[in-house]
Amino acid sequence: MSAVPSAAIDAPSPVAERAADLDRALTDASPAEIVAAAVRAVGRDRLAVVSSFGAESAALLKFAADVDPAIPVVFLDTGWLFAETLTYRDALTARLGLRDVRTIHPDDDALAREDAARDLWFSDPDRCCAIRKVEPLARTLQSFDGWVNGRKRFQGGDRSIMAVVEADGVRLKFNPLANVSQHDLMALYAAMDLPPHPLVASGFASIGCMPCTSRTRPGEDARAGRWRDRGKIECGIHVIPQIIPASRE
């Protein structure tokens, strides 16, 4: 049996090649232009805007609504969210005229099996994120060929070097706010008259699940209050590619 040429083994996937082409074309594009390009690339009904309705979510959702308010928006209710986040989801949905916001949840059997006492966030935060965020989103993304998220390079860590468009397993992943600075973001909120998340005024700069979110101290990175002192900086949805094949049903 002849050996497979190394070039064939290392060849990028069609999705990776397409992502690289789109990234080159959109490297200096505005957020609205990137969202519009995402719609053209995969089609409105095959594109998901994934939003936490957190501290900085309104900007991305406004750009999406301006392009097409019927783009599906996926909101993951982990069962540990602040009540203020749920209220903000409803208020922002109405304010922006979003027409297809889909709230998804973790699998009940997985929660009963692995987190019946609701203390997994303390004993194993990585596994808690896996069953409450990563796995539910992976299942939901089976119905989509591309997704949009609100990460920014100024948030630091691995995000500081992310592309505008990435290959995420079998899907395209769009980062319309990658190039936006913190100053730009503040200006966008003012210019577009966007309401802030209710918890921002009380010192929460990045808002996730209630047990693993704390206020940010003066001078700290915006995400310093997430999983404080746990040696953890991401929930996993932006680290582990969503490799479940896209559904064509």
Separation of first and last alpha carbons in the chain: 39
Q: In this structure, what token pair is assigned to residue 16?
A: 């990776």
* CA angle 101–216–163, rounded 5-degree value: 55
Q: 124 Cβ partners below 8 Å, 6+ apart? A: none
Query: Which are the catalytic amino acids?
Result: 235
- 97/92 Cα distance (integer angstroms): 8
C-beta separation of 189 from 196 below 8 A? yes
The string over 173-199, giving b where at least 16 C-beta atoms fall within 10 Å of a residue's C-beta and e elsewhere, is: bbbbbbbbeeeebeebbeeeebeebbb
